Structure 1
Amino acid sequence: MTASTSAPRQRGRPPRIAPSRQETREALIRCGTELLTEKAFLSTGLDEMLKRAGVAKGSFYHYFASKDTFGLLVVDNYDACFCRKLDRLLLAPGTPPLTRLAAFMQEGMDGMRRHDFRRGCLIGNLAQELASLHEGFRLRLQQAFAGWRQRVCTCLEAARADGEIAAETDCLALAGFFWMGWEGAVLQAKLVQDAEPLTVFAAQFFSLLGRPDRAPAATADSVPTVEDPHVQSHPD
């Protein structure tokens, strides 16, 4: 009987496995999320996104039915990531509620500094650009802001229950006011390329609550934050 022989094992790197269609879609969505914190949706070219993601030019419609479909998926991705960030900071156990809110604001300031004030809020950017042009985007962006408002409202309700703010405070209205001011401050910070609009808003907001001692300082590491290594950082 003759023993069968097999080809000798080749040395070197293992063969490269091409990413799946789903993996490529996810890579493009992540890339789009980064780009649209810096640039307008309508003026961002598909080829630019494909190049940044390392995907073959001209293959966009193999992964998405339209640019609008892609844009809404980017909004979903950003919103989900941002909600995880809000939950991590605003629900931090053992930390006073207003300190949690200050920690969110501090992290936002630090994130804008880290990216040299090139990046803003994707939801705010798209709301300014598309709300009057595309009903589908307007409704989805409105939904995102409603979710963010409710999370801040829950934090303020905890502050009210703990006696940090007045018992008669309308927490839902105050949470809406917070987002109006914070989004405007983010826009101004990007415009002037400085954190001053953010620190001014933070100081005025906490003074309005009668708690100026809770306002984050202009420099990093002034407010304690709770880090979760299992949560991907939000694209500031």
Structure 2
Amino acid sequence: MTTKHATTRDTLIQVGAELIAEQGYHATGINAVLKASAVPKGSFYHYFASKEDFGLAVIEAFAQAYEQRLDALLEDDCLPLDRLRRFFAAGRAEMAGCDHSRGCLIGNLGQELSARNALFRERLDGILREWERRFAHCLDDARTLGELAPDTDTEALASFILSGWQGALLRAKTLKSVTPMEHFEAILFDRALH
């Protein structure tokens, strides 16, 4: 792919991700993506066979970028539970920065599409499982360093953290406040991570 082609495709994906994060997959039409990205309609179908193909490309691009972010936050040299605190702080800052309008694209799409489209459901589940694996790795480090009890089931705890955080993101959107995210983190550290 030439740079121009890659740039046009990337622009469509980036604009699509922003619109889908705010409006949802079904409410985001191809024409809205084209208009917002200033790309002609023929170009869209040059890169994507269908809206579903486009949606999957948006999911893949978001997942790849988010996994790089997770790695940067969860795999550095500071203590593992401090890494988790940094992850939560970054999430709160991002939620406040978009005026509580977006949340997590993968979580949003999971709620919207999982019951309707098996292909999307399977891919979204695979991404969430990968995120759980990254949390479990951080928690394994915490257990090894004595920040968590030796018998801590880090896989179950990672699943709990991801599920609870996704719920907190949803509530933050509906309340237009990061308070649910703060409550989740406080209870997690006070009750589960000791």
Taking structure 1 as the reference length, the TM-score comes to: 0.79
Look up the match of 1:129. Answer: 112
Match of 1:55 among 35, 39, 54: 39
Aligned to 1:184: 167
| Larger RCO, structures 1/2 (Cα 8 Å, 6+ apart) | 1
Deviation at 1:54, TM superposition (A): 1.5
Equivalent position of 1:75 in the other structure: 59
Alignment partner of 2:132 out of 138, 149, 152 = 149
Aligned length: 193
* Cα separation, 2, equivalents of 1:189 and 1:114: 12
Aligned residue in 1 for 2:158: 175
SS in structure 2 at match of 1:118: coil
Residues 102-137 of structure 1: per-residue CA shift (max 9 Å, x gap): 100000000110111111101001111110111110
Q: Secondary structure at the match of 1:167?
A: coil
Q: Residues 171-228 of structure 1: CA distance to partner in whole angstroms, max 9, x if unpaired?
A: 00000000110000000001110000000000011112354xxxxxxxxxxxxxxxxx
Equivalent residue letter for 2:24: A
Which residue number in structure 2 is paired with residue 22 of structure 1?
Answer: 6
Indicate the percent of aligned positions where both proteins have the same amino acid. 42
4+ aligned runs moved over 6 Å, structure 1? none
Gaps of 5+ in 1: 1-18, 212-236
Q: Is the 8 A contact 1:47 1:58 kept in 2?
A: no
For residues 207 and 31 of structure 1, the distance between their equivalents in structure 2, rounded to whole angstroms, comes to 39
SS at the partner of 2:9?
helix
Q: Quote the residue 2:87 is aligned against.
A: 104
Matched letter for residue 84 of structure 1: Q
Report the RMSD for the aligned CA atoms in angstroms.
1.5
Distance 1:167 1:108 in 2: 28
Q: 1:14 matched to which residue of 2?
A: none
1:163 aligns with 2:146: yes
Q: How many Å apart are 1:36 and its aligned residue?
A: 1.7
Cα pair 1:119 1:190 within 8 Å, conserved: yes
Q: Which structure dedicates a bigger proportion of its chain to helix?
A: 2
- Which ranges in structure 2 are unaligned for 5 or more consecutive residues? none
Q: Distance in 2 between matches of 1:107 and 1:146?
A: 21
Aligned residue in 2 for 1:118 = 101
Aligned mates of 2:137, 2:46 — CA distance in 1:
42
Corresponding residue for 1:209?
A: 192
Q: Tell me how far apart the structure 1 counterparts of residues 151 and 132 of structure 2 sit (CA, whole Å).
A: 19
